[in-house]
Amino acid sequence: MSLPNGSAGVAAPPVATPGATNTHQRPIQEVDAITIRFAGDSGDGMQVVGTQFTNTSALVGNDIATFPDFPAEIRAPAGTLAGVSGFQVHFSSQAIHTPGDVLNALVVMNPAALKTNLRDLEAGGFLIVNTDGFDKSDLTKAKYTSDPLEDGSLAGYRVIRVAITKLNIEAVKDCGLTPREQDRCKNFFALGLVYWMYERPLEPTLKWIQSKFAKNPAVMEANIRTLKAGYNYGETVELMPVQYRVSKAKIAPGTYCKITGNDAIALGLVAAALQAGRTMVYAGYPITPASSVLEKLAEMRRFGIKTFQAEDEIAAAGVAIGASFGGAIGVTGTSGPGICLKSEAIGLAVMTELPLVIVNVQRGGPSTGLPTKTEQADLLQVMFGRNGESPAAVIAPMSPTDCFTMAMEAVCIATRFMCPVFLLSDGYLANGSEPWNITEASKLPTIDIRYATESNMGDWGGAAHKLSTATDSEGGGAGKFLPYRRDDMLARPWAVPGTPGLEHRIGGIEKQDVTGNINYEPSNHEHMVRTRAKKIENIALTIPDLEVRGPEDAELLVIGWGGTYGSITTAVDRAHRKGLKVAQAHLRYLNPMPKNTAEVLGRFKKILVPELNAGQLLMLLRAKYLVPAEGLNKIQGKPFLISEIEAAIEQRLK
């Protein structure tokens, strides 16, 4: 989109009477998309108003994508740079895949929010400033030496000055709230103002306020009044010379809701358990940004899901594996530091060949790193971060809604192949949201999970497998079940404790194939290492091929994985509009990769691998397929801008 350049610094008019109506008509300008960010102190309620703005935009028919950006500190000292919380909404009349590169409008409640967010506002963009938040001490806390509202540093933007704090107090003063409670309503004044700017209806938010504060009529009334006051204020004082209109998007028919990646993972796991008709145990230890999966599941008891908050990350993995041993679908969820701690237990699941789903919502690392920021730097960790030859399946959703599909897929693979499956999400997918076509999503595949119910000794030759150390003659009723006798995919049977006649023992020590008896023989170990690896490779026989999008004669392939899908897709779309010969593929299955991957990579002269790490998929592709792929790498805790990928594509096709 492009906006007309206006002169900077729209002066704040005198306080108008809230609620007054104005019928002046502004010229209307149609635009494809708007990106707006609400930024304030972490106690200012920016996440709430951002969410409300998103919901309303979805209801009026726009395509939407959101991204919250909040500090690791829960309540850093008010007004400081560390305490700034933001919520970005991208809404459009076209299909969109990202929360937007640059901001067309920025709402700031204080100087700290201005300082930390201004760099993302486009030149000439709208800057809505709560002038009441800019007194001397606020400026000092944000480490401003001069007042940016006065010193001319905002000259490149269209500044809209609004005394939000005072106007809000004026609107809510008769509601019977304490001064502190009154002040806390000001986010809804700001929201009302922005609703007016972009022609959004108030009704959805009014409805939400009524239900949210049903038990507190004074707060309900105050929030309603200030929301309306904000709207009316915009209209009365004609804050903007034009009204921007973002029409309805052409979206596939169906019923939609908005969903974040973490919620989608939770729902996908539950859907898998219900479709399989099996118990699910989800064990987790609180960790950013994965905790909300555990929280979401904890409120879903009526679906029969058992959640367990463990004493630590290791225990969470142990509980999940123990549950799998017991015949449940064992799932544990965490972020990178938690994977470090769980590694030994995951190795045991590899060795004992038990199903296990490990959700890793990646964040910036190493160590504690950037807990609330996104990164894709755990790929090699989950591929190789265990002792010994310890292969596990790795899959990665590419969007918030794909988290649902891939969570189900993780359960299918884990239970079909009796192996651990990593579901690699990231902070960007976890907290970002997009519309979810629930009409489509509700068409679920069936999941068939089979337990062993009877002896599998039947046609077993036996003698060749007899173990020198076993003393069968001593056994009493032993040996009716062969826990490592494999099927055509090399998966072993799952015999659940409680099943008569199938009593057996498993463990982390190397074992003889078929019998599962402890075995240290050199050739057996190599056989077992290769068998476990082959079993994981066999997963490729059951997953979809890698799809390629783009012209037949494309010279360049852009291949990514995980949450970068939206940025890559939009960048490739733009390149196509410019006539560039570029193709796109996105790996949702990373171990094993789809069986046509080598063929796809071989088709292109150039391969570009954008990743939010120092080049991890790049290393795998080069090592495995011997292709001259190049990386595009960003390690800033932030998603790719579309323009960054677009520029990299153009550079390679010059």
- Cα separation, 389 vs 208, in Å, equals 53
Q: In which residue are the tokens 């036996």 written?
A: 462
Nearer to other proteins, 302 or 577 (CB): 302
Residue 523 CB, shortest distance to other proteins, in Å, is: 21
Q: Which two tokens stand for residue 157?
A: 């933007």
Query: Does position 287 bind other proteins by CB under 8 A?
Result: no
- Cα separation, 422 vs 335, in Å, equals 11
Q: In which residue are the tokens 């918030």 written?
A: 400
- Cα separation, 639 vs 155, in Å, equals 28
Residue 613 CB, shortest distance to other proteins, in Å, is: 29
Stretch 214-273 residues interacting with other proteins (CB under 8 A): 251-259, 267, 270-271
Stretch 454-493 residues interacting with other proteins (CB under 8 A): 469-472, 474-479
Residue 591 CB, shortest distance to other proteins, in Å, is: 23
Q: Which of 40, 50, 125, 318 binds other proteins (CB under 8 A)?
A: 318
DSSP 3-state assignment of 244? strand
Number of residues that bind other proteins (CB under 8 A): 84
Positive or negative: CA dihedral 284, 290, 296, 302: negative
Count Cα atoms within 13 angstroms, Cβ side, for 326: 12
Nearest C-alpha neighbor of 106 from the set 173, 6, 179, 197: 197
Q: Which two tokens stand for residue 265?
A: 């993972």
DSSP 3-state assignment of 441? helix
Residue 442 CB, shortest distance to other proteins, in Å, is: 5
- Cα separation, 567 vs 564, in Å, equals 6
| Interacting span for other proteins (CB under 8 A) from 85-93, 107-115, 321-329, 631-639 | 321-329
Residue 38 CB, shortest distance to other proteins, in Å, is: 18
Q: Which of 13, 77, 497, 551 binds other proteins (CB under 8 A)?
A: 497
Taking each helix axis from N to C end, the angle separating 261-276 and 291-298, rounded to the nearest 10 degrees, works out to 50
Nearer to other proteins, 292 or 376 (CB): 292
Stretch 383-442 residues interacting with other proteins (CB under 8 A): 438, 441-442
Stretch 45-104 residues interacting with other proteins (CB under 8 A): 55, 58-59, 61
Draw the binding track, 171-210, toward other proteins (x: CB under 8 A; -: no contact).
---------------------------------x------
Query: Does position 572 bind other proteins by CB under 8 A?
Result: no
CB 176 within 8 A of CB 217: no
Q: In which residue are the tokens 């023992």 written?
A: 505
| Interacting span for other proteins (CB under 8 A) from 5-13, 103-111, 495-503, 622-630 | 495-503
Nearer to other proteins, 111 or 318 (CB): 318
Query: Does position 286 bind other proteins by CB under 8 A?
Result: no
Q: 10 Å Cβ neighbour count for 201?
A: 12
Residue 202 CB, shortest distance to other proteins, in Å, is: 15
Q: Which of 68, 330, 397, 550 binds other proteins (CB under 8 A)?
A: 330
- Cα separation, 343 vs 331, in Å, equals 14
Nearer to other proteins, 304 or 551 (CB): 304
